[in-house]
Amino acid sequence: MASRLDLTGLPKTFDVPGDPSRIGERWKKYIRGFQLYIDGRAITQSFQKYSLLLSCAGEDVQDIFETLGVAVNQETEDPFAVALGALNSYFLPKSNVTYERHLFRQITQASNETVDQYCTQFRSKSKTCNFQDVDGAIKDQLVEGVRSTTLRRKFLEKGDSANLADLLHLARVHEQTQQQALNMGGPSTESVHKLDAHSRPPAGAGPTSTTRPKVHQQAATGSTSSCYSEPESDDEFVFGVTDNHKAEKVSVMIGGVNVPMIIDSGAIVNVIGRDVWEDMKQNGVKCTMMKADKKIYAYGSTHH
């Protein structure tokens, strides 16, 4: 009597209608997961593996397999190997190496991604690129695409004397020390002091000129517009909030537009409202839109 198979946790069906441009990559991952499943269940009999593959993969794959006209002779052939070979030929057509290498070069590092995770993306994609020197190709793209300019400089200093493993070790040390330094130095994000609209500054202070004013406007899209005033001399100025009632608002030239505003000298950045930003745009403000990576919190906020 045949032993009963433990078929709990069967793999999901294969999504044939999914992204057609990635169907080969998706099929490889599906078969990898299926192989791990049958190995974990100690399923070794070829016909059982054959039946499970077609059953798990779903009706779409079954229909495709039937159109391939594959006849399986259980006495002389390995049913699972025959079926898998036929399906691989269908789902894994010969890849366009030029295009695959283009996709390889387009891989970017996310802001919350470590260099090791970034490298894993390259390693996975390199399987379809037919590189003679995989580590060398990954190393070149790693140096070019790493987000940290400090780390890129360190990579370049190493030059050809360092291999990919050396650069990854250097990156791990750099990321670890960066995190340790942030932990020792307090919050890594910039905090904005929240001003009470009804409060009045203590008497006696005037505007302070120290550094060049910089204004970040946080839009709903997550973009930031950075505009700098144009000082008349080589000195750069920033205006602090004073206790003088008349000095609560100052006129700041931002991108060629005069904007009356309160400048909080206790904050690292100053935020303007959307209504002010819309008015500045109507007046032809000259500035550059940039993606904002910084997180800004109200003064005293615990949501860091």
**What distance in Å separates the CA atoms of residue 160 and residue 211, rounded to the nearest whole number?**
42
**What distance in Å separates the CA atoms of residue 285 and residue 258, rounded to the nearest whole number?**
9
- b (16+ CB within 10 A) / e for 130-154: ebeeebebbbebbbebbeeeebeeb
Q: What's the average model confidence in pLDDT over 256-284?
A: 72
Residue 244 reports pLDDT greater than 50:
no
Q: Which residues contact 215 (CB under 8 A, 6 or more apart)?
A: 226, 227, 252, 254, 261, 269, 270, 271, 272
Quick one: pLDDT at residue 189?
Answer: 45
Residue 277 reports pLDDT greater than 60:
yes
Domain chopping of the chain, boundaries: 20-91, 97-185, 214-298
Residue 3 reports pLDDT greater than 60:
no
Q: What's the average model confidence in pLDDT over 44-52?
A: 91
For residue range 88-141, what is the model confidence (pLDDT) as tens digits?
989 887 678 898 899 999 999 998 899 999 999 999 999 889 899 999 999 999
Quick one: pLDDT at residue 183?
Answer: 87
For residue range 8-41, what is the model confidence (pLDDT) as tens digits?
778 889 999 888 878 888 898 999 999 999 998 8
Q: What's the average model confidence in pLDDT over 279-289?
A: 76
Q: Which residues contact 225 (CB under 8 A, 6 or more apart)?
A: 216, 217, 219, 277, 285, 287, 288, 289, 290
Q: What's the average model confidence in pLDDT over 60-65?
A: 93
**What distance in Å separates the CA atoms of residue 4 and residue 268, rounded to the nearest whole number?**
68
Quick one: pLDDT at residue 10?
Answer: 83
Residue 152 reports pLDDT greater than 80:
yes
Residue 232 reports pLDDT greater than 50:
no
Quick one: pLDDT at residue 138?
Answer: 96
For residue range 157-174, what is the model confidence (pLDDT) as tens digits?
998 999 999 999 999 999
Quick one: pLDDT at residue 191?
Answer: 43
Q: What's the average model confidence in pLDDT over 203-229?
A: 43
